[in-house]
A and B are shown apart, each in its own frame.
Chain A
Amino acid sequence: MHTLLIANRGEIACRIIRTCRELGITSVAVYSDADEQSQHVKLADRACHIGGSRVHESYLNIEHILQAAKDSGAQAVHPGYGLLSENAAFAERVEAEGLLFIGPQPDVIAQMGDKIQARNVMKEAGVPVVPGRELASIEEADLNEAAAAVSFPLMLKAAAGGGGIGMQRVDNETELLKAAASVAKKAETFFASSLLYLEKYVEEPRHIEAQIFGDDRGSMSCIGLRDCSVQRRHQKVIEEAPPPGLSKQTEEALQTAAVRAASHLQYKNAGTVEFLVDKEENIYFLEMNTRLQVEHPVTEETTGADLVAWQLAVAEGKRLDELQYTQPAHAYALEVRLYAEDPKTFFPSPGTITEWEIPDFPFLRCDVGFTNGDTITPFYDPMAGKLIVHAESREQGISRMIQVLERTSISGIKTNVPLLLDILQDSAFQQGKVTTHFLTDKKEEEAAWKK
């Protein structure tokens, strides 16, 4: 492979270009009208305009991207994350054009993209999933039978639903009977189906995920775990490796389950198996992301692997045991995501950056897609980039990140830097006792204080 087209933008396009440079591969960027002056366009060896500012006119336009690949003489396409990265039709079209798609097989992307199918496939593979079942009716006998099989506390939800609408926690049979009638009514209104689904309520859930890699010959490896429990609106804010305070046994259970999941799919290339871990350290499959993750740097910093280089190598037919660790491995790594948003309301804040000062430290890695003078437009994701520190311990990592953020100065747009500092200085976070409810609970606590 001598030329790689990157079908993405922002920090991840810049990140992939960096590895291309190290490997002597010619990088080709694609860009929309709004991104003409972007960092990824400036950094790449070549750049192709692919259409208007809106994503469906450019970054989601498969034909325009394939045309750019042909025009630039690329042999391979890296989809990054988001955008077309988990679009099976795109992966298929890339391969049909005789190009190498840097990612897993299209049918695996499709299978894992359908969340219900993914759950069923994982059950088949013997990977633990959150126990649950569909309710035959909301008659008392049916309810109690299902509840006994799954066990309290339970989460009652619309079988056809999503987005938390009509979800309710129930702790006993009396509550269940009452809740079933009201949730069924809501389900009928919102989803035109009163069918209900009963699921085990996962108490004090942590989000822990496993980085896996598979090659052409069926070898599979889990190379690290990440804790991504600090989330807002299901979007991750802070990620770290290794996850704090997990027992050795649970770490091994997660690694084993991840490898079993990926092996069952005969998965090729990089992927992430996401799990929920409850307060008793039971593990449950959540979903599989069939691409490089935003938070892949914390795994790179703690293993010494360049995951983009590995993706390219495996796509070209290299075996797992031929892959090299090319960087120093540190005991601990912490990543924060810089969002262009109001730190209190989480509302996006597009605008032109008039100041972009991030200090230099030997322990700091900046994976960013913007700099002073750049404009963050309303067309795309509000994430401007990521800051990653490595350290000898979690305590040192947190204090280093605080040091970095206190010396970071960004103007022209609002950013979540104050929120990040607040989290890093929170005692629950410092003690490693964070669940996925952490940010919501914290907000409610602050609101209560104000009253």
Chain B
Amino acid sequence: MSKTLTKIKKNIKKNITEDIECFKWHSSVVLEGEVDKWEDVILAGRLAANKGYKGVVNKIKVKGLNIPKIKRPLVKDNSLENRFVDILIIGGGVIGCSIARELSKWDCSVLLVEKEEDLAMHTSSRNDGMIHPGLVPKPGTKKAYFNVKGNKLYSKVTKELDISFKRIGSLILLDKNYLKVTWPLIKRRAKLNKVKGVKLLPKKELIRKEPNISKGVVGAIYIPSTGVLSPYEMTLAYGENAVDNGVKISLNTIVKSIDKIKDKIVSVKTNRGKVYPKLVINAAGVYADYIAEMAKDKFFTIHPRKGEIVLLDKKRGAFIESVLANLDLSIKNSKTKGGGLVKTIEGNILVGPNAYEQPFKEDYITNKESVDKMLNSHLSIIPKLSKSDVITYFAGTRAATYEEDFIVERSEYVKNLVYAAGIQSPGLASAPAIAKEIEKISIDILKKQMNLKMKIDWNPKRKKAPKLNSLTLEERNKLVKERSEYGDIICRCEEISKGEIIDALNSKIPASSIDAIKRRTRAGMGRCQGGFCMPLITKIIKEENKTHMTNITKKGKSSFILVEETKCSNKEGEN
């Protein structure tokens, strides 16, 4: 046993138990055994991480803990059978979709598969939409590199893809004890990570910026490049632009197994047939390690770190202008992000996210204790806010590796496999830069096998469907005159018209569920949470898609809204 391995084993023995096996496999360290609690699994992984191995493959089990299998689509058909493609992207989150879009520049066939009924159903719709400035990641990490680069790229890409994006800036709030010690540290970090424009704001200036802030704050560190956008809108925009440029997206498609000959993938089996790709890109989020394992290349482990987020009523939106975070929550420890208050692009205030380790990758249950704790600590930043302003809350999981850094590279052992994995926070902020890097890696590999040119007719631009409440009254009126459905308000809280809902149903990546419409239009996202508009939207889906009311789901699979017709129903407006 090598010296490092012995040291890892000793450390695990000291802190947890001696029953853990440690051995080297490829360039990684593998841990095996059984412990009593999940915290020990995490601790063992951390003790083995960044000790000279490429990654930690943590196979330690918890006694009696049953981790549910990956959730699968219900569809089964042959729509992809015998499909030969140049590039197969696995995963339709912001990473997979941004990669698809960058690769769509090239004259090659690209197929993206996503196991859910829509894009951005997991982490990409379950985050705070913040485009981080890149101050928090440790200098020299991939996180730091891609974050700062990605942040810059957003100015251009949001314009090209017609996405609302605002650099609202963030403020790290300081109380008396921290003021003096912190500033030099942050100044140094900003310089190392190349984050521009960071400055110290004295109380007076802070209050001018954020007049509603609690009195205890004595100053703040201001980072101007922090931005906000809608993460699912961004993902869909990338996806739509990719589709416009020839990328095929297959939803409800899960990878079931990967066939290799020697060190190359030859085929990928899905629930919709076998695909033969020249190159595979693993952008499978929390399941990236699961895909890696199928290719017998698992050199890292994703441990899903949960985060909960609370949204407040738009009525209270005017209380803040930027991103506000307490110091101890944002800078001390990059592993446990504590969030703060974010003024979202839509004008709500978002509270969170918090962060805690738990074993389930697709478990989006929210917990009263942790949400209450988060509200109690963050709402006090703005004394005018209260718990009665809450309109909704939800959870997501971060695709964290034990190394706590991104994996953006070609596989060491499988020649035609590329990884965009371990993309946790600040993954959204880094996405445009990661996509460009993966594009470069992939094209380099493919160029050795085929003649590859850039498309001459590649269109970097995408036009979003009109969002009527963001237009001027004149523009809005013009649209209603052209199409009266734009004048028929369905969602009263967010002022969304029937026309916008129909647009979502007919978009390039068509919405087919209530939640998919919600992500595209915001219908149902307001204070009544769809109480009034949900039945109306169900009816619009029925009419537009010529389906039955009982077939309509909240979010695909068997999430049906309705059970059956009533005994003596008199179907209004139905024939």
User: Do A and B come together as binding partners?
Assistant: no
